[in-house]
Copies of this chain bind each other. A is one copy, B any other.
Amino acid sequence: MARIALDAMGGDFAPQATVAGALLALAELDPAHSIQLVGSTAVVEAQLRALLDGELSSHAAQRDRLAIVEAPDVIEMTDKPSAVVRGKPNSSMAVGLRLQADGQSDAFVSAGNTGAQMAASMVLLRLHAGLDRPAIVTLFPSARKPVAVLDSGANVDCSPEELVQFARLGATYVECVLARPNPAVGLLSIGEEPEKGNAVTKEAHALLQSAGLNFIGNVEGRDLPAGGTESHPVDVVVCDGFVGNVVLKFYEAIAPLMIGTLRNIGVTAEQLEAGLKHLDYSEYGGAPLLGVKGVSIISHGKSSPRAIKNAVKVAVQAVVSGMNEQIGARLAAAESAA
């Protein structure tokens, strides 16, 4: 049973996309799970009424598993991330995360200001022992299984030790939430040989070899869309958040470019949908912020109701799989082995 707090006010299309996403998620989830919509009660109630009276009238049965939690303050994209918890303690982000810190919720999902969510998650949930920073993990569609890439934007300049921490977080995530045992971990670099790379990756390579992970060595940019090679598929790819964010935004922009190009030459919308569905980001939903003691899922600012629905499902999987407890246990084991 998971209680998911959803930031009803976060994202470019809130509250319409968030409230609709909540209803869609509940329709697909086991009835034991519930959602707490965090935001202005008046705004959320009005939106809920409009949807249930209109396009989502078939979802009335889900209303009972929805609670509304009042949070009157609004976070702007221009708000300084570090000031949100103190400056806007009654914002949907601070209230939603505090529910979890107080044991009244199991996970938090937001499509709002990412920097603010990271900062508030660190303050209100705190980091697991043995970590310097949290990391955002994103699933990249690939020719094989989706590849978990981290960090994809939380940290710009990373130490070799932090890259090892990311590897541990990513491996635990893939094993628990994606149910892939003994995931293969690759280090993103510019050549397969250990001596290829920049100063940080070369040192990280050496550390990863004795980290107790299934480390398969360096991987290259081509291994992200390919999912590794036939003989060496890869599940987790570790990099600093500068490289990870550049590649993520690059990948997000490829699909629209391809679709426009292919429509121009007569490929039909049905062909495209069938062919490119696995490259559609909204299929994958939110990106977990790993390392905090709890579950905090970051959704894209442009999240549609479907993307919100999938982010809520990611949150449920994280809770049900015991991801957070597993991360704590693995980090403690690594500390005591060191």
- Indicate if A29 sits at the interface (CB-CB under 8 A): no
Measured between alpha carbons, how far is A254 from B223 in the docked complex, in Å? 10
Instruction: Contact check, A198 vs B242: say whether CB atoms are below 8 A apart.
Output: yes
- Indicate if A178 sits at the interface (CB-CB under 8 A): no
- Report the 9 A-B pairs with minimum CB-CB distance, sorted nearest first: A221-B249, A221-B250, A222-B253, A265-B275, A221-B246, A156-B198, A190-B245, A222-B249, A225-B253
Also in contact, A271 and B275, with CB within 8 A (given A190-B242, A198-B156, A245-B190)? no
Also in contact, A275 and B257, with CB within 8 A (given A157-B199, A199-B157)? no
Q: Digit string of A251-262 for contact with B (CB within 8 Å is 1, else 0)?
A: 111100110111
Instruction: Summarize A's interface: helix, strand, loop or mixed.
Output: helix
Supply 16 A–B pairs (Cβ within 8 Å), ascending by A.
A156-B197, A188-B246, A190-B245, A197-B242, A220-B246, A221-B252, A225-B250, A225-B254, A226-B253, A239-B246, A243-B243, A243-B246, A262-B262, A264-B275, A265-B271, A267-B267
Nearest-CB residue, chain B, relative to A197: B156
How many residues of chain A get a CB closer than 8 Å to chain B's CBs? 48
Instruction: Contact check, B222 vs A143: say whether CB atoms are below 8 A apart.
Output: no
* Choice from B221, B226, B265 contacting A247 with Cβ under 8 Å: B221
Measured between alpha carbons, how far is A230 from B198 in the docked complex, in Å? 35
Instruction: Contact check, A190 vs B253: say whether CB atoms are below 8 A apart.
Output: no
Measured between alpha carbons, how far is A262 from B254 in the docked complex, in Å? 15
Q: Digit string of A148-170 for contact with B (CB within 8 Å is 1, else 0)?
A: 00000100110000000000000
Q: Which residues of B contact A156 (CB under 8 A)?
A: 190, 197-199
Also in contact, A190 and B222, with CB within 8 A (given A260-B143, A264-B275)? no
- Residues of A with Cβ closer than 8 Å to B? 142-143, 153, 156-157, 188-190, 197-199, 201, 220-226, 239-243, 245-254, 257-258, 260-262, 264-267, 271, 274-276, 279
Nearest-CB residue, chain B, relative to A279: B261
Measured between alpha carbons, how far is A262 from B271 in the docked complex, in Å? 8
Q: Which residues of B contact A226 (CB under 8 A)?
A: 253, 257
Also in contact, A247 and B247, with CB within 8 A (given A265-B274, A267-B271)? yes
